Chains A and B, each alone.
Chain A
Amino acid sequence: MIVQRFPVFTQGVRDRRKSLLWWSVGIAVYIGVIAAMWPSIRGAAGLSEIMSQLPQPILELMGASDYDISTGAGYVSGELFGFMIPIFILILTIGAGAAAIGGAEERGTLDLLLSHPISRRQVLLQSAALVAVEALLFGVVIVVTLAIATPLADLQIAFVHSVGAAFGIVLLGISLGWTALAIGAATGSRSLALASTGSLAVITYLLGSLSGLVDFLHNAKWISPFFYANGGAPLVHGYTWWHGLVLAGVGVMALTIGINRFDRRNLSN
């Protein structure tokens, strides 16, 4: 029945299930390896002293100013949520978003799809649902892996905090994944969607990181999606829920503009 009602979504899941399986395994293994290193790192003498002697700007750049990196939660937050996990989810969702319509148009399969009785709006919304489900799967893998690793490696991460931190990451993936989807739909170009959304991510990440260092960039973190995903170290202190609204709002706004542009333009063949 779901196949009948959401054919684009269903086919998308079918196309990507193998790669999603490998993504899940890879993320779980990566988190597991980082977690497994914690007992020996904690044991290493003087980590806290070293950290406390580092100048504040260096800590900012390491993403470690918000929390104590000598606790399990702080360690995982810094090692994973500050950089690598956002990077991984963005590779996944920006890639999926850009491929869905921009990619189909570049490959030449969009013409055939849209010669069937399905509206452009439906194609875009079902593609958006696919991106969201991929991001959610990613989040579930994070939560499950951390739930297993926490007692094993004595990380002392509160379950509700890991859910909150994963939620922020999922929303980060969705907001930029939908942006890439919208740019692909608006322009018909997968490469343009990838390049522009990727640059957006890199620039806002750098501005956000520098905002604690450079006086005139002090307010720059407010434009960084990474701040709304991981600012304030949700793995340690819990997720600031209104941050999620900002990310969701950005995603919905991008989709709305994308639908509008996609609905009006000539498709290329």
Chain B
Amino acid sequence: MGALAIRTQGLTLAYRHGRGINDVDLEVPAGEVFGFLGPNGAGKTTTIRVLLDLMRPTAGSASVLGLDSHGESLKIRERTGYLPGDFSLPPSLTGAQVLDWLSSLRPNTPPVRRDELVQRFAVQLDRPMKQLSKGNRQKIGLVQAFQHSPELVILDEPTSGLDPLVQDEFHRLVRDFVAEGGTVFLSSHSLDEVQHTADRVGIVRDGRLVTVETVDDLRGRGVRRVTLTVAAGSGDLVENQLRVLDGISDITRRGDVFEFAVVGSYSSVLAGLGRLPVIDMLSRAADLDEVFLALYRGTDA
């Protein structure tokens, strides 16, 4: 009832290799699927690891399920499931042994959902980890994150290595889990990966949370990526025109070929282009990083 599953205030962690986070304020209500998006190295994993007390913030605070991320971490971890981004397991253990071992670390919450999840993902339980493909190991990772029926599941790049059919099953699992009252916090570097499941996404870049929006809003911005080829020798003329057109950003040029992003209405851009010696124009939906560049360039400076 309006409770927050995750809340961070001014969360900051100065960390080597510049992979820290800076002043992150985040609120994820219970019952939501929250997508945490950003390029690799932006600070997604660092934020997640602070929530689980694997790392300690240098400033600010985080609470999970209403509990302090450091002082009450054991209670948090009791009620949370986690899939690390770089998921490695003892190579000689079989899937069943891994799941047994991890359940033995949760004596108070028996793995009530294991059988159902094993069936759902057709997990191979009898093979040692070293014989499994990345995708099959990842399925074991998903089972262990959900098997004890936690309230909150934190997943770092959960769909990496999964084939498309399994990804679909994963999306169904997430929707079912949230329909039953659970909360899911998942990170990804690609909007496409989370747009089917996430209610809202937070975009993080260089350690800062740049924006939080609903997936619908973000898509609704209608950012397009355009490749424009103009008549030979007219590049300089066209470049000057493009620079002054409204709604165009992030222009790059290679000779007589331009690439740029279009945000919002197309018609004013088309009107502007109509006076130019255009030979070819290619337009496609921008991917997340391009959306980000078009919308938020300069705001994190």
* B41 shortest CB reach to chain A, Å: 12
Known A10-B104, A15-B90, A269-B45: A115·B55 in contact at CB below 8 Å: no
CB < 8 Å: which of A111, A113, A269 contacts B105? A113
Query: In B104-119, which residues have CB < 8 Å from any A CB?
Result: 104-108
| Main SS class of interface, B | loop
Contact between B106 and A109, CB atoms less than 8 A apart: no
Cβ of A118 under 8 Å from chain B: yes
B15 interface residue (CB < 8 Å to A): yes
B185 within 8 A of A: no
Total residue contacts A-B, CB cutoff 8 A = 73
Q: A10-B104, A117-B74 are in contact. Are A266 and B89 (CB under 8 A)?
A: no
What's the Cα separation between A106 and B150 when bound, in Å?
28
Give chain B residues whose Cβ lies under 8 Å from the Cβ of A32: none
Q: Tell me the bound Cα distance from A264 to B89 in angstroms.
A: 25
Residues facing A in B50-107 (CB within 8 A) are: 52-56, 74-75, 77-78, 80, 82, 84-90, 92, 101-102, 104-107
Q: Which of B1-54 contact A (CB under 8 A)?
A: 13, 15, 45, 49, 52-54
Asked if B56 and A266 sit within 8 Å, CB to CB, the answer is: yes
Closest Cβ of chain B: how far from A13's Cβ, in Å? Answer: 12
**Which residues on B sit within 8 Å (CB–CB) of A119?**
74
Which B residues touch A11, using CB under 8 A? 101, 104
Complex alpha-carbon distance, A11 and B100, angstroms = 10
Query: Counting chain A CB atoms within 10 Å of each CB, which of B54, B82, B87 scores highest?
Result: B54
Q: Does A114 contact B (CB under 8 A)?
A: yes
Instruction: Please tell me if the beta carbons of A266 and B55 are within 8 angstroms of each other in the complex.
Output: yes
Instruction: Count residues on chain B whose CB falls below 8 Å from chain A CBs.
Output: 31
CB of A185, distance to nearest CB on chain B (Å): 14
* Chain A, residue nearest B76 (CB): A117
A112 adjacent to B104 (CB under 8 Å): no
| A116:B45 contact, CB within 8 angstroms | no
How far is it, in angstroms, between the C-alpha of A118 and the C-alpha of B53 when the chains are bound? Answer: 12
A249 within 8 A of B: no
- Are B54 and A111 within 8 A (Cβ)? yes
A-B CB proximity, top 4 nearest? A116-B105, A108-B88, A115-B82, A117-B78
Chain B residues in contact with chain A, CB under 8 A? Answer: 13, 15, 45, 49, 52-56, 74-75, 77-78, 80, 82, 84-90, 92, 101-102, 104-108, 144
A-B contacts, 7 listed (Cβ < 8 Å): A4-B107, A5-B107, A7-B104, A108-B87, A112-B102, A117-B78, A265-B56
Chain A residues packing against B (C-beta within 8 Å)? 3-5, 7, 10-11, 15, 107-109, 111-119, 264-267, 269
